[in-house]
Amino acid sequence: MAVRTILHYPDKRLRQPGDAVTDFGPAFQSLIDDMAETMYAAPGVGLAAPQIGVALRVFVVDTATDEDAPSDFRVFANPEIVKLQGSTIFTEGCLSFPGAREDIERGEVVTVRAQDRHGEWFEITVDGLLAIAVQHEKDHLDGKLMIDRLGLLRKRVLHRQMIKRGGSEASV
């Protein structure tokens, strides 16, 4: 297992949609282990493969935020949002936007169909932090970022903050 480098906005690779996972063999298993190690080291509750420069449709989450709670580590490969119910506003962070916290509107309850780390299909309906994390990480697989869900003013402010932090130029 290795901790991989997390790409930061405005890195163009964050905009590249992921390709479907078709091989669940040893290289994929190693990627999942690296993603878990990277997410925990960051620390974060989710990480999508595009965030570490791997253009695959897979993300990992662990929403057990209490140190004493057992792990709730999950792998979502080739996820599809089947149904969204209600709406909620949640203050989200993102490992690709260090230090940023933004109020984002999401579905309150989400049903997702995906494959686990071994390629087995499953479908679950979730709410709370797990629902937010699933929607946030799924966006990464489509090349969509947290900043894309903000109004124009907040988008400009966050863009400038990230450029100032990283020292590079890009357009929103």
Assign domain 12-166 to its CATH superfamily: Peptide deformylase (3.90.45.10)
**Which residues does the annotation mark as catalytic?**
137
Both tokens of residue 15? Answer: 């905009």
Answer yes or no: are the C-beta atoms of 46 and 133 closer than 8 Å: yes
Length of the chain: 172
Task: Give the domain ranges of the chain.
Answer: 12-166
**Chain segment 120-166, per-residue pLDDT in tens:** 999 999 999 999 999 999 999 999 999 999 999 999 999 999 999 87
**Chain segment 51-84, per-residue pLDDT in tens:** 999 999 999 999 997 778 888 999 999 999 999 9
pLDDT at 165 (0 to 100): 85
Rounded to whole angstroms, what are the CA distances from 139 to 72, 90, 135, 145?
21, 15, 6, 6
Percent of the chain at pLDDT above 90? 90
- Average pLDDT of every residue of the chain: 94
pTM of the model: 0.93
pLDDT at 171 (0 to 100): 39
